[in-house]
Structure 1
Amino acid sequence: MQQTTLAAEAVYKGIGLHSGREVQMVMKPAPANTGLVFVRMDLDGNPKIHATAANVTSTMRATTVEENGCKVFTIEHLMSAFHALNIDNCYIELDAEEPPVADGSSLAFFHTIRSAGVKELAAERREIVVDKVYRIDDDEHNRFVMVLPYDGFRVSFTSVNPHKLIGIQYENFEISPELYEQEIASARTIAYEKEIEALRSMGLGLGGTLESVIVYNDEGWLNPLHFEDELVRHKILDVIGDLRLAGPIRGHVVAVASGHALNTRLAKKLLENLG
């Protein structure tokens, strides 16, 4: 397979989920072997931050990458759309430190990227071809994420939530652009109402609204769901985005209650061993 980039520029504007700041994102075609590179247009010199596992510096409620003291955060939904659409190279220009949240899913990014078109490049695509089991555990909280050899890209995820409204959810998907658009891309970020005030006191979730976050409390959901098991589908969306920080994956991802911390640790492990 050949490497790809966008066929044309694509623009998306909105509010950052955690920063609450307005941001314009311009995605531009990039040459072969560039990778996915964020460009901070609001900073002197327009510094670049490569979206790679080696640059992950924080995973608190979102995934952050940082290079030479400059960072971007909450990149996982955009990265997930790039992964699903097999985009290898792109410059992502931002005039703030966080991409837009859109509706809390990756659907708007998926459609924006696809509408720009995909262009094949002369260079050969380099996949992360999983050759054995790679696993990251959090024994204290009974969580893990692993990836096994598999001829394709599959994700099996079990979400475990103690709240009676959610409980245990499981989904298993063979990832393709068509499947991703239908079953995963519109799954949104979820928050427990009682956590929101604490998050905002930490400077997080400042851009979140019922238009961009599914909120639940002890009585039920505050907004309608896109899927009965939307939580686990969003977890799958996240792990697809986080693992793209290693590169395009050929393997079967199996996870139980994993989040950004475990996902990005696995991405680092894959990059170190197979990148």
Structure 2
Amino acid sequence: MKQQTISKAISYEGAGLHSGLPVQMRILPSEPNTGITFVRTDLPGTPSVKADIRNVTNTMRATTLEDGEAKVFTVEHILAAFYGMAIDNCIIELNSPEPPIADGGSATFVQLIKEAGIVEQDADRRVYTVKQSHGIYEEDKFIVIRPYDGFRVTFTSINSHPMLGTQHADYEINPDVFATEIAPARTIGFTKEIEQLQAMGLAKGGSTENVIVYDDTTCLSELNFPDELVRHKILDILGDLFLVGHLKGHIIAVKSSHNLNSRLSREILKEMQEEA
């Protein structure tokens, strides 16, 4: 398969989920073999950081990339859109440290990619086929990847909230499945956490439209899917694992997090380096 980028630049304005800061985002085509690069146009010298697992510096509530003066966080939703839509190379210009929350999932970014158009490039796509099983375990949570001829994600979410409970989803990932079944799934939040999160400088840009908000007993948002939580967890995995590139393998996870996702990505990177 050939690498792909978008046909033309496209822009979008919004606010960041955690920072709440206004942001102007511009997505531009990029040359083959350049990957995904974030550029901070608001900083002197417009420093950039590549979407690479080696640039991850924080995984608390979101994934943060950092290289010198260039720092961006909550990158997983837009990276999931690139992975899900089979985009290899793009430049993302931001005049703020966080991409827009947009719809709260990846649907807005998928629509932007479709509006810009997708173009095939004169270079083969690099798809790494996982040769060994790798697993990250932490108490009652885990994420593993096993050799598999394709790309599949199986996730089980277990939550004590009376409207959530146990949710399970299993998808072979391709652009059609991603756009219809995964991309519209939004992030989740609980009213009892909001005050604490905002005191930590987080969740300042969330609303009941771009976040599925639950109080102690009910859901304050209108759901896109009955099992939207577990679908969003799969979305997060796609964004976090795209930091090592396109993969062939079967991911199986229970209650995984950005931290566990990133640790698995580093294990995959080790195998890739040993194979090289």
Same fold (TM over 0.5): yes
**1:45 alignment counterpart:** 45
**2:228 alignment counterpart:** 230
Counterpart CA distance in 2 for 1:2 and 1:27 is: 20
What fraction of aligned residue pairs are identical, expressed as a percent? 51
**1:216 alignment counterpart:** 214
Offset at residue 160 of structure 1 (A): 1.1
**2:137 alignment counterpart:** 137
Offset at residue 70 of structure 1 (A): 2.2
Residue identity opposite 1:201 in structure 2? A
**1:22 alignment counterpart:** 22
Q: Residue by residue, what CA displacement relative to the aligned partner does 1:154-213 show, whole Å, maximum 9, x if unpaired?
A: 100000112222111100001111111111111111101100000000000011111211
Choose the corresponding residue for 1:273, options 248, 271, 274. Answer: 271
**2:259 alignment counterpart:** 261
Matches within 5 A, 1:149-164: 149-164=147-162
Flag structure 2 segments of 5+ consecutive residues without an equivalent. none
**2:107 alignment counterpart:** 107
Give the conservation status (yes or no) of the 8 Å contact 1:148–1:251.
yes
Give the conservation status (yes or no) of the 8 Å contact 2:85–2:179.
no
Matches within 5 A, 1:143-222: 143-222=141-220
Give the conservation status (yes or no) of the 8 Å contact 2:142–2:253.
yes
Counterpart CA distance in 1 for 2:236 and 2:12 is: 20
Offset at residue 85 of structure 1 (A): 0.8
Matches within 5 A, 1:235-250: 235-250=233-248
Counterpart CA distance in 2 for 1:134 and 1:120 is: 32
Matches within 5 A, 1:3-82: 3-82=3-82
TM-score (norm 1): 0.97
Greater displacement, 230-239 / 115-124: 115-124
Give the conservation status (yes or no) of the 8 Å contact 1:129–1:274.
no
Moved over 6 A (4+): none
Q: Residue by residue, what CA displacement relative to the aligned partner does 1:49-92 show, whole Å, maximum 9, x if unpaired?
A: 00110100001110001001421000000000000111111110
Flag structure 1 segments of 5+ consecutive residues without an equivalent. none
Give the conservation status (yes or no) of the 8 Å contact 2:73–2:99.
yes
**1:122 alignment counterpart:** 122
1:190 aligned counterpart, secondary structure: strand
Offset at residue 33 of structure 1 (A): 1.1
Counterpart CA distance in 1 for 2:153 and 2:194 is: 29
Give the conservation status (yes or no) of the 8 Å contact 1:77–1:106.
yes
1:245 aligned counterpart, secondary structure: helix
Residue identity opposite 1:262 in structure 2? L
Counterpart CA distance in 2 for 1:112 and 1:171 is: 26
Counterpart CA distance in 2 for 1:23 and 1:107 is: 18
Residue identity opposite 2:141 in structure 1? R
**2:91 alignment counterpart:** 91
Offset at residue 20 of structure 1 (A): 0.6
Offset at residue 250 of structure 1 (A): 1.0
2:192 aligned counterpart, secondary structure: helix
Residue identity opposite 1:157 in structure 2? F
2:78 aligned counterpart, secondary structure: helix
Residue identity opposite 2:239 in structure 1? G
TM-score (norm 2): 0.97
1:77 aligned counterpart, secondary structure: helix
Offset at residue 93 of structure 1 (A): 0.4
